[in-house]
Chain A
């Protein structure tokens, strides 16, 4: 076996000019992606990025891999056809909050429940960027946007809760500005066998600037974000506060006031998603918001493995299909 050439981050950049607004959070996600891909050891030609439509969905054009900038909301469906027939490829889906949760909500649910072995990166800027600033399914109640001058009256949707409800096997969240954490989250997603969802808080500095500043800005982050680590207690605010499970809900405690083993220990591998769901529902300002891997359950069969297993099993029991045999199966008659 020949040794694979060692690739650098720059090898993954295409020759196309990046056209996001200066300061957009998308840049950071692109940079982290290019940074971690060489570590994964998958050749560029075996890597495919499939996106829907939106600012975020321009992503594939900037990667020197195979790619498809498809239609609004449907990227998971294209990925299903590709991954089912070419399981050896590493397939990434790049989507936005509108793309994945509004027009593409149906495909989002179904690709997760089927556990197709792909990595979905959802750029959540809580706004429709490309169409210039209408509210999205993750916009907050009361949010004033171009299409909600008196404030949004929709209740927002949490992509993490939705993914858990769809029985997703890998659910994580990260932040554009928290680059190291972001890179690690992308890597974890890539390594998971099965459907992986990473929600990334992404700042749209043009239409929704600072909407998630409480989590993005380094200074505020400590107080408003809990970084999940498997097997570790949930603490934040520089270790001064923690999260405790009481009955069927979570509450904030001062770590100084409670015994250490009172704190909730994070178990990303728990097959029961109930506590993961509680974490997904923690939201600012009443609670700190979790980032990191909420759920990572291995060993669930993937759609692509199963569809190919059936083909192999049928071929083993019936032999490779033969057209002549097929045509003459059942009743036939001969005319001389």
Chain B
């Protein structure tokens, strides 16, 4: 399975951003994943942004059916998949017209020439061949390749029908891209032989297409040189590439092992949370039981049932399903059972934008239950961080006897990055205990509390501790049903205090940059990468801008108020219309400026830098004031 090496010139660059775009059926996601893994294995830092339609087979050739995968790989640490593209590969006119705007001037456009014909123009709703536009030659480096024809030739010896032969086209494109960026073919060759082990002729054809694509790059006059991205200087250790949902699943498995509690995962399929189920169900030998319930209500209730029995009960969904779980979550909270509820957010409201990212469920998770029912909320900041957040959520849930919410989003769920593999001994231990049985001389007090206000987790099967939980208000201590007004006041206060006290058991908020200054950018969740990179760029431009990225949203770290107070301006950047901003204003009585976007897309670094610098100039008195930014009229 040797990988060939080029004899042409090689230019060294620090990073490359590529987007692969084609029809949903063109295999672009596979191509992107392979390029990512190969780049990660080459030691690059990588960040990805898969972007695909909600429809499984969106109308072929149309703009709505375009599926894209963007990856940045670099020899230095990176935090985003990149704003503008150095290279764009397009398989058809629809892919070209919907993505060309993001290609930087002077960037490389590789087009599958065979995909550009009258039929495709009609489907993409373009008047004429977009490849013929005069401006193109002046703006970009265009390379037209008859990929379909070349792929058919490359696989002709295997005697496959044209339909199957044409499916190898993405491997041809991959070979070309691999040549252009000096990538080894080896990992993908291994992937092909494993994936198609039962269909040797398909494996052979794909390999032939991959090698033909590479050879085309090597021989064509169109490419004068290829590019080389050296390995990044990541901290020493063993790395692997990991996707957010996968990291979340593994974090849950790790937490289960660390606490000695079998994982029960009750869920109902929904984008973009389903991959957690697909991942977890592979690991039954870790004691994982997955239950695909009849709906999200049953899913959350089953997790509570498992928690009552002493297992690690977890449920996950996206916004619409979380709405259905609300009543169950309220029950979990009043019964004070440890469990985890995951929301992998997508564009809302209602069914919204299933495959696009957004952060608009923060207030739903904070307040979306009847009555006074606060729950702790944690939010991962990157694909790899999903692992740590899952472990941390279970630690808090068991220490405080409370359901904990994890607020992830589609961007980190589907995105990937290199993940430094932890040694198991470096992971925190999670001590869980259940009270032992008695001979019933003394009545059991299921709502007795420890210093953190946690109650005992007594489980069925324990003699002498028989007790009844439920949704009716209960008397503190005994847990018996109580309608006493003072008791209700007391229990409401205790449940709130219990969550508030968690702030003493979580790390202080860290600030990137000076601890005081002109502008503090506050962010949370999946926007970490773009906000961090934008702040860094502002700092490089000499601005006194710092960054605080929240992983704990309820309760917030206890030093956050002081941090916010040390800056003249606080900018809250989030992919919603200002939900964290509202919380910060309410909690800390400080003014905040919103930088907001709801387009189903992540922030670009460029737009954040512009917004931050504009507000920074206003803070330092040399520009006009504008309260809130939103990018709703901006097309990008």
Contacts and interface: CB of A to CB of B under 8 A. Distances in A.
Contacts of A313: 284
A3 interface: no
Nearest to A334: B238
B216 to A, nearest CB: 26
Given A67-B468, A71-B327, A88 B294 contact: no
B421 A45 contact: no
Given A69-B472, A311-B289, A331-B241, A44 B466 contact: yes
Contacts of A319: 285
A82 B423 contact: no
Interface string B296-330: 01110111111111110100000000000001100
Contact of A69 (B266, B311, B469): B469
A110 interface: yes
A336 interface: yes
Contacts, number: 208
A70 B307 CA distance: 13
Given A107-B294, A334-B237, A334-B238, A82 B305 contact: yes
B507 interface: no
Contacts of B179: none
A323 interface: yes
A315 B284 contact: yes
Nearest to A113: B294
A78 B308 contact: yes
The interface centre, meaning the residue of A106, A314, A327 with most chain B CB atoms within 10 A of its CB, is A327
A16 interface: yes
Contacts of B309: 81-82, 85-86, 89
Interface string A83-96: 11110110000000
B337 to A, nearest CB: 10
A63 to B, nearest CB: 8
Given A84-B264, A110-B298, A323-B253, A314 B284 contact: yes
Chain B contact-residue range equals: 35 or more
B481 interface: yes
Interface residues of A, number: 63
A23 B462 CA distance: 35
B43 A335 contact: yes
Interface in A86-124: 86, 88-89, 106-107, 109-110
B262 A68 contact: no
A320 interface: yes
Given A66-B467, A70-B471, A311-B289, A335 B327 contact: no
A310 B284 contact: yes
A68 B469 contact: yes
Contacts of B311: 81, 85-86
B239 interface: yes
Contacts of B234: 335
Interface in B258-297: 262, 264, 266, 283-289, 291, 293-295, 297
Given A45-B463, A81-B304, 19 more contacts: A45-B437, A68-B470, A70-B304, A71-B331, A76-B298, A77-B297, A80-B291, A81-B302, A85-B262, A85-B309, A86-B310, A109-B294, A307-B291, A311-B287, A326-B250, A327-B250, A327-B422, A334-B239, A336-B236
